[in-house]
């Protein structure tokens, strides 16, 4: 968390996407620069192997061949560690990179590390948000407070518009 305990602003379409370097479920590093020249779907989800996050991730996996036809990479990000990501990916046969952001540095850079309230309790966590980063490294579109149903298909349609 930044020194002032304030959520960073979201990155708006047209802005350069912040660089990152995170390991996936196989301990392989991924940098945004590795994907230069192609679209990147960077989706932030609260927690591995929970109902909404599972449904969202499985929908991206189901549509993966269509995303690949559009040359788009899909990268999921949450704060749980690589071991948690590996269990999640194995359990649901997720083949795209799930990136571990245990210090929530990247979530903060993208403005998705936010104050949340559940049953009257406030805490900091990831707000379900998806960024579509264009081949030029700029944010092409952002979805806030994502509703899981139909989301992967909406993102796929946006990739097709790039």
Quick: pLDDT tens for 106-120.
999 999 999 998 889
pTM of the model: 0.93
Specify the residue for token string 């189901």: 62
Pairwise CA distance, residues 17 & 68, whole Å: 21
Pairwise CA distance, residues 65 & 75, whole Å: 14
- Does residue 53 have an active-site annotation? yes
Q: Measuring CA to CA, which residue among 78, 54, 70 is closest to residue 140?
A: 70
**Among 17, 40, 42, 53, the one annotated catalytic:** 53
Instruction: Rounding to the nearest 10 degrees, give the CA dihedral for residues 120, 143, 98, 126.
Output: -20
Q: Calculate mean pLDDT across residues 141-157.
A: 96
Quick: pLDDT tens for 61-83.
999 999 999 999 999 999 999 99
Judge whether residue 2 has pLDDT over 50: no
- Any idea which of 1-10, 32-41, 109-118 has the lowest mean pLDDT? 1-10
């Amino acid at each position: 968390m930044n020194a002032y305990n304030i959520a960073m602003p979201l990155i708006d379409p047209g802005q350069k996407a912040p660089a990152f370097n995170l390991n996936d479920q196989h301990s392989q590093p991924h940098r945004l620069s590795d994907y230069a020249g192609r679209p990147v779907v960077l989706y932030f989800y609260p927690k591995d192997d929970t109902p909404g996050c599972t449904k969202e991730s499985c929908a991206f996996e189901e549509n993966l061949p269509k995303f690949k036809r559009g040359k788009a990479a899909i990268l999921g990000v949450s704060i749980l560690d690589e071991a948690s990501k590996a269990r999640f990916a194995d359990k649901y046969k997720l083949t795209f990179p799930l990136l571990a952001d245990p210090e929530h540095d990247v979530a903060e850079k993208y403005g998705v590390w936010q104050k949340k309230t559940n049953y009257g309790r406030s805490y900091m966590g990831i707000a379900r948000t998806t960024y579509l980063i264009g081949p030029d490294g700029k944010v092409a579109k952002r979805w806030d407070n994502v509703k899981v149903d139909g989301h992967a298909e909406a993102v796929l349609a946006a990739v097709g518009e790039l």
